[in-house]
A and B are shown apart, each in its own frame.
Chain A
Amino acid sequence: MSVEAPSLSLPRLRGRGDPNDRYLSDGEKSPNLAPSPAKRGRVGVGVLIAFLLLFPLTAHAVTPGERLADPALEARARAITTELRCLVCQNQSIDDSDASLAKDLRVLVREKLKEGMSDAEVREFIHSRYGDFVLLRPPVKPGTLLLWAAPLIALLAGAAAIWMAARRRAGFPATPAKALSEEERARLKTLGVSDLERPKS
């Protein structure tokens, strides 16, 4: 093959436009991923396209060689790795990422499963080593209560607002006082009125 395949292990494509980066070749830049504060440039691309930039080209997140022979065990491993964050990526699970650290973690998860750890034990093992940041599903604790409660708070606050707005106009009847009788209806029909709407208040 004339094209010798370059290593496809790509660093996360980072935002561009940082003057510090400007005259470096890409090879000099960031083969590794823990971004130094100076290198964390602005996200230099369109709002829309930027999210593409924020994902590395992970043609090969999980490689065939990593996979476990036992399909049940492999399925468990996948379920765990999709909820663990690639620590050096923008917002990616280790299952999707091809950063070398993500690969190490995938292998680690599989080893621990092979050793007979339960799913929860493996998660706890990784969590204890890397902290909350590694969990894409944030743990419920005092610092995240507001986050987890946000949907409920929004719903309750909205419902309360609607209830108050309804009460404010409680002075007005919300429904017509009395439905028309058949007789009145028939008379209206003879008058050629088909729409029974009340006049606008």
Chain B
Amino acid sequence: MIVETGHYALVLALALALAQFAIPFIGARLNDAALMRVARPAAITQFLFIALSYGALTYAHVVSDFSLVNVIENSHSLKPFIYKISGVWGNHEGSMLLWVLVLSLCGALIAIFSTSMADRLRADALAVQGLLGAAFLLFILLTSNPFARVAPAPWEGRDLNPILQDPGLAIHPPLLYLGYVGFSIVFSFAAAALIGGRIDAGWARVIRPWTLFAWIALTLGIAMGSYWAYYTLGWGGFWFWDPVENASLMPWIAGTALVHSAAVMEKREALKVWTIFLAILAFSLSLLGTFLVRSGVLTSVHAFASDPDRGVFILAILVFFIGGALALFALRAGALPVGGLFSPISREGALVLNNLLLSACCATVVVGTLYPLALEAITGEKISVGAPFFNTVLIPIALPLAMLMPIGQMLSWKRGDLTAALQRLRIAFVVGVVATAAFGARYGTPFLSIVAAGVAVYLFVGALSDLVLRARGRSGLPSFKRLAGLPLSAFGTSIAHAGMGLTLLGLAATGWGVETIVAMKPAGFYDVGPYQIGIDSVSPRQGPNYSEVYAVMAVRKDGVTLATIEPAKRFYQARRMARSEAGIVTLGLGQVYAAIGESHEDGTIDARLYWKPLVTLIWIGALVMAFGGGLSLADRRLRIGVARRAATPALEPAE
């Protein structure tokens, strides 16, 4: 009964989504306030119904209701409780339900928090949001129903894929979806602004917090996923340029560009057309990613063609929304007035260059991801586009971009002084050069790692020195009081950029990792970078729904044991699948990483042992970036209050 209620709630949500689209949209055209007012309660109720539906599916998973196909295929009565909850989104149907849950949450957030804007803009934005919700609800109900029953119900489920039985599954997907789908808010506002025909700094002020919110969630989601891959997959890889990863990277890059161009638009009324375009692009790339992952087209063009119902449906959604938004853009963008003017050497100019480089990165990732599919579809030729390609073409764009970041911070709006900006960065330059030399002396190779690490250090110091310089009083010394008086967004920019520097340093340091692949003898110690690792014991152990063999290893330096790690090899009975649990210990900013494999009759056990210097900076940097974004968001929130009085009249429809 609960399951049927959930199914029915989903159908009702579809009806509400259609109402949320049609009634306010018509109201906005007729300028009927009563009809437009329907948008907010509709959006909130739609969210509540989808939440009810989602709760029903979660209930079915928690009580192991094996009359549901979705539960049979992804759960097991012995599965730990937390994975019964997170397993709800560890499959196609459930993850699509989470997708629409987040989408409707975004609609509800607009309805609740966007009190300060013109009714018509909000009505149109919520109408677009409603239409998006209707499309994806229809997709779930017609092609991916999570509430499908089966009779007779089996006694036991097939369990969740072991790789997904990890705390990572509990955190990563919701964050990533919040980011992915969060861009729908920006998309809806862009479409609404194009429909209404008015776009100004007030509009940029409305979308900036939402953009930042989605960007922060996506940053954290990608970082979390990457760390999850790192500790789960057993050899310490954290990014593979897999199409599914690229699917999350594309909207992130576009979103990063959008955060910056929206800043220009808000401050200077410039780059309007471009900002609107990016707002459409960021969510379009989210939709493209959803299509790539959900349609099966990645596995093979032929798989897509032979089992096309889901793929074609999402493709239709994709074409309708992206095509519709771009058509609207083409119709209306030309009529937008030219905004504030600026000289090429200025903060705006630097941000234009930033957007150019980011767009080139984004285009490269899109082309690299789609090219093999397109080539195979057109010529039948099969090629692979892997990590070597992306590294080769993206590094020459990314490193100059990193060089540019602190310079852009130092330039003033409208007309900047490049020489002065470079002079203010001289400490950063000097520190960067010294760091490059130091890394070169310490490691020698690879060249690229040393250069990238030097750039990273320069970026970190340069980003933070902006704060120090701005806190300088008349005496020329930075004062704490002045520092505290700086706007939060200044901290946000500097800290986010510094975070990028940290991540870049962590990435560069992967070139200095040490790997030892060895059949370990019980008594021996093996060198891994500055440490020695030896096995104390190897024993079996029983978990709730798996059995495992684990090794206790001691990590030593100069004869002193610093830590013990327990890499394990697990076997999940229900799926007859194995997974490895890496043994990891963080020492300083680096990590010792161990994974075990086959044991042999002579008592040795195959192991891969790694020393990964500075590797934690990759994820620490992402956390710092997100924190910087959060600071800016906090600042913007204050500004929304200011904008409330200034922006509302400007956004009134010009009847």
**What is the interface of chain A, defined by CB distance below 8 A to chain B?**
1-3, 5-6, 8, 10, 13-18, 22, 25-27, 35, 37-38, 40-55, 57-65, 67, 82-83, 85, 90-93, 96, 131-138, 143-144, 146-148, 150-151, 153-155, 158-159, 162, 166, 168-169, 172-176, 197, 200-201
Let me know if A148 and B393 touch, CB within 8 A: yes
Q: Mark B383-417, 1 if CB is under 8 A from A, else 0.
A: 11111110011101100000000000000001100
Contact A136 B269 (CB under 8 A): no
Mark interface residues in B361-403 (1 if CB within 8 Å of A CB, else 0). 1011001100100010001011111111100111011000000
Consensus secondary structure, chain A interface: loop
Verify A147–B385 contact, CB threshold 8 A.
yes
* CB <8 Å contact, A16 and B89: no
With A138-B383, A144-B383 as known contacts, state yes or no: A49 contacts B92, CB within 8 Å. no
Given contact pairs A16-B91, A45-B95, A67-B517, A143 touches B383 in the complex (Cβ within 8 A) = yes
A60 touches B597 (CB 8 A): yes
- Contact (Cβ within 8 A) A64 B384: no
Chain B, residues 148-184, CB within 8 Å of chain A (1/0): the string is: 0000000000000101100011001100110010000
Task: List 15 other contacts, CB 8 Å, given A44-B91, A144-B371.
Answer: A3-B547, A8-B580, A8-B597, A8-B598, A16-B92, A42-B295, A46-B95, A52-B164, A52-B228, A52-B233, A57-B579, A59-B595, A83-B388, A146-B371, A176-B415
Which of B10-18, B29-37, B286-294 forms contacts with chain A? Answer: B286-294
A136 touches B386 (CB 8 A): yes
B residues less than 8 Å from A58 (CB atoms)? 233-235
B389: contacting residue among A15, A60, A62, A136, CB under 8 A: A136
Contact residues on B (Cβ < 8 Å of other chain), bracket: 35 or more
**Assembled-state Cα–Cα distance A23/B599 (Å):** 33
Determine if A59 and B356 form an interchain contact, defined as CB atoms under 8 angstroms apart: no
A136 to B124, CA, bound (A): 46
A54 to B229, CA, bound (A): 11
Measured CB to CB, the nearest residue on chain B to A17 is B92
- Contact status A90-B578, CB under 8 Å: no
Q: Are B392 and A51 in contact (CB under 8 A)?
A: no
Q: Kindly state whether residue B575 has any CB partner on chain A within 8 Å.
A: yes
In the complex, A165 Cα to B580 Cα: how many Å? Answer: 55
Given the contacts A47-B248, A158-B356, A85 and B384 also touching, CB distance less than 8 Å: yes
User: Roughly how many angstroms separate A64 CA and B519 CA in the complex, as a whole number?
Assistant: 6
Q: Please determine whether B242 and A10 come into contact, CB atoms closer than 8 angstroms.
A: no
CB-based contact B549/A3 at 8 Å: yes
Task: Indicate if the CB atoms of A169 and B173 lie closer than 8 Å.
Answer: no
Q: Which residues of B contact A154 (CB under 8 A)?
A: 359-360, 363-364
Contact indicator A6/B244 (Cβ below 8 Å): no
CB proximity of A97 to chain B, nearest CB, Å: 10
* Complex partner residue of A49 from B90, B381, B599, CB under 8 angstroms: B90
Q: Is B606 an interface residue (CB 8 A)?
A: yes
5 A-B pairs closest in CB distance: A136-B386, A46-B95, A40-B303, A137-B388, A154-B363
The answer to the question of B321 belonging to the interface, with a C-beta cut-off of 8 Å to chain A, is: no
Instruction: Specify which of A3, A47, A136, A162 is in contact with B540 (CB 8 Å cutoff).
Output: A3
